[in-house]
Amino acid sequence: MPKLIAFLRAINVGGHTVKMDELRRIFESLGFSAVETFIASGNVIFETSLEPGRALEQRIEDELKGTLGYPVTTFIRTPADLAEIVHFQPFPQPVLDSAVALNIAFLPTEPAPEAIHSLMALRTEIDDFRVQGRELYWLCRVKQSVSSLSGALFEKAMGTPVTMRGINTLRRLTAKVAV
């Protein structure tokens, strides 16, 4: 069966604490197999014969909301998608080498040009962005705590929920699910 990765928004942040064994049980209750979590921040690896896409994301979101009592936006990617994401070079190598952080925000769909324009209006000497497909790459040249940006600002600019992961987490996850 094909392996998929679910990136969940609002897991173990903002007062929403979920134990990973509970999260695994929820995914197993949906009929998924080989369910495992990867670090306690809402990354779930699972196998299913169902096609990745909005219908599967909605099915997971409905179950999580019913079980946890609050909405959990879900972003599904395949191992191949994830490999593409981590190997994409959104900025020249010297810029990447001098940055303190590179984060990737998952989007539900490719953003409209207006959303990208709103995002680019947030660029500063500290923060830069690149959108590629359904991902937003955020380069932070200093400690993120110095930046004025947050997930809420990205969501406002993009007009959609997002969930963000650091490049090192995604590299480790990619190695784990490599086919």
Q: 91-97 long-range CB contacts below 8 Å, 24 or more apart?
A: 91/128, 91/130, 91/137, 91/139, 95/128, 95/139, 96/139
Domains belonging to the chain, first-starting first, are 3-77 (3.30.70.1280), 82-177 (3.30.70.1260)
Secondary structure in 3-state letters for 123-149? CCCCEEEEEECCEEEEEECCCHHHCCC
Secondary structure in 3-state letters for the chain? CCEEEEEECCCCECCECCCHHHHHHHHHHCCCEEEEECCCCCEEEEECCCCCCHHHHHHHHHHHHHHHCCCCCEEEECHHHHHHHHHCCCCCHHHHHHCCEEEEEECCCCCCHHHHHHHHCCCCCCEEEEEECCEEEEEECCCHHHCCCCHHHHHHHHCCCCEEEEHHHHHHHHHHHCC
The pLDDT of 32-48, averaged and rounded, is: 94
Cα 43 to chain centroid, rounded: 8
| pLDDT at position 63 over 70 | yes
Is the pTM for the entire model greater than 0.85?
A: yes
107-158 per-position pLDDT tens digit: 999 999 999 999 999 999 999 999 999 999 999 999 988 999 988 899 999 9
Structure token pair of residue 66: 């019913």
Contact of 80 with 92, CB cutoff 8 Å: no
156-173 per-position pLDDT tens digit: 999 999 999 999 999 999
Structure token pair of residue 16: 């929403």
pLDDT (0 to 100) of residue 136: 97
The pLDDT of 37-62, averaged and rounded, is: 95
The pLDDT-based confidence of 87 (bands split at 50, 70, 90) is: very high
Q: How far apart are CA 38 and CA 45, in angstroms?
A: 7
